[in-house]
Amino acid sequence: MTRIAALIVRDSSPIRFAGLDLAERAARLVRRAGIDQVQIVDDEYPFADAPIVDLLLVLPERVIVERSVITDLLRRDIHLPEDAVAVVEPGGESTGLMLLSLRATERIRAVPRVRSALRRLTSEAHVRVVRVAPRFIARVKTPRDVARLETEYLRHTNGGDREGWFTKNIRLFSIPLSRFLLRSSISANEVTLAGFALAALAGLSFTVGTYWGGIAGALFYWASMVFDCSDGEVARGKLSDSKFGAWLETVTDYLSYFVVLGGIIWGDYRLEGFDHHTIAALVAAPVTFLIVAIVGYLRARVASVNPGAFDDALAVELGQGTPMQRFAVWGRQLIKRSFVAHLILFQALIGFIPALTEVWAYGTAGALVILVAVQTHIIRSVRVQPLRPAVTL
């Protein structure tokens, strides 16, 4: 069995990233990537007391990476005649992130700095240089970098360019909110519950049945969607995402559809009685429930080891670019909550909230066809990495 340890190299920096001390964040990250033996050392003879293991991961505290960078690096391993693997930024600049063999570690034990160790290795050993694009990796050079890198990190680790226009539009509001919440004691699960409370207020507002009731409901639902994006950002920013949190978000997302639909129907029924909108709702509700059941089953079957990564893994698979996959990408955008939030706001502004029941009925029928005919086949190729429990240091 390969023995693996991690060395977190700190420089006594007062900088915090996403609410966490840099060294604490780096240590939590590598533990979540599967490395249990972790040492935090200063950049002054950092390798002098390094553990004797087969592979030593070296991570400077100022290097910000997503967890998949670490897992991918460990999966690459070291192959003869290599002594080490060094990760560079997209532009070719060294990051200091390295994976060392035992032979490489012994070669640099007496070296005073990580940068000096890398220079010695490149001149005296076999070092493979790799880039991790499109994975996220960046170095915090000054405190002024934090705001920009936090925004880039949250956007990248929560969908990035794979997301549709509607979700990207919501992120314009959710990321600033998340950066604020990351500096508080509020957990991602509390953000999820707050988002569902806003969705419930939206449903309650729709029961009024008036124009301004519809405007209030649409704004509440838009705000709930901002919180829906923010809970994942907070979880990944704090490296605290969990199976429970992922399922809590999934359940509250599904319930929000029924809460809003119920509010719209009740408001219309109070003013107009039993009409064609009510009939459309009687079609939309059971079909929506069927879609929820199928998607929930697929998520449990394919991503039970890490349900929070289901959407990202599916987006990667759909990004392959075949005609069927492009059709599925287009179809998924029309059933996501971000699209629904925009649609509700538009309908509220023009004063036709009850007409959403008919849009809902047609939309769910189309979504069911896409789900059964396309997604259930594509999803067989989706692979999700296991999620290790959060570790409090």
180 and 100 in a single domain? The answer is no
Provide the domain limits for residue 299: 158-381
d(CA 294, CA 288): 10
**For residue 332, is it within any domain?**
yes
Please give the pLDDT value at position 393.
36
Question: Any idea what the CATH number is for the domain that residue 103 is in?
Answer: 3.90.550.10
* Contact of 306 with 385, CB cutoff 8 Å: yes
Helix (H) or strand (E) holding 361: helix 356-370
130 and 173 in a single domain? The answer is no
Of the residues 90, 109, 139, which one is the last residue of a structural domain?
Answer: 139
126 and 248 in a single domain? The answer is no
Question: Any idea what the CATH number is for the domain that residue 335 is in?
Answer: 1.20.120.1760
**For residue 210, is it within any domain?**
yes
**For residue 146, is it within any domain?**
no
Output the DSSP codes for 92-146.
Answer: S-EEEEEEEEHHHHHHTTT-SSHHHHHHHHHHHS-EEEEE-TTS-EEE--STTHH
pLDDT band, very low/low/confident/very high, at 316 (cuts 50, 70, 90): low
d(CA 80, CA 205): 66
Q: pLDDT tens digit string along 295-308?
A: 787 777 776 766 76
What is the mean predicted confidence (pLDDT) over 65-92? 88
**For residue 393, is it within any domain?**
no
**For residue 133, is it within any domain?**
yes
Q: Is the pLDDT of residue 319 over 70?
A: no
d(CA 162, CA 315): 7
103 and 215 in a single domain? The answer is no
361 and 233 in a single domain? The answer is yes
d(CA 199, CA 344): 12
**For residue 151, is it within any domain?**
no
Tell me the pTM.
0.86
Q: pLDDT tens digit string along 334-376?
A: 667 888 899 999 999 999 898 888 888 888 887 787 777 666 6
**For residue 306, is it within any domain?**
yes
359 and 269 in a single domain? The answer is yes
Query: Is the Cα dihedral 110, 112, 117, 120 positive or negative?
Result: negative
Please give the pLDDT value at position 386.
67
What is the mean predicted confidence (pLDDT) over 211-239? 95
126 and 225 in a single domain? The answer is no
pLDDT band, very low/low/confident/very high, at 49 (cuts 50, 70, 90): very high
Please give the pLDDT value at position 292.
84
Number of domains comprising the chain: 2
* Distance between start and end Cα atoms, the chain: 26
**For residue 113, is it within any domain?**
yes
275 and 216 in a single domain? The answer is yes
214 and 362 in a single domain? The answer is yes
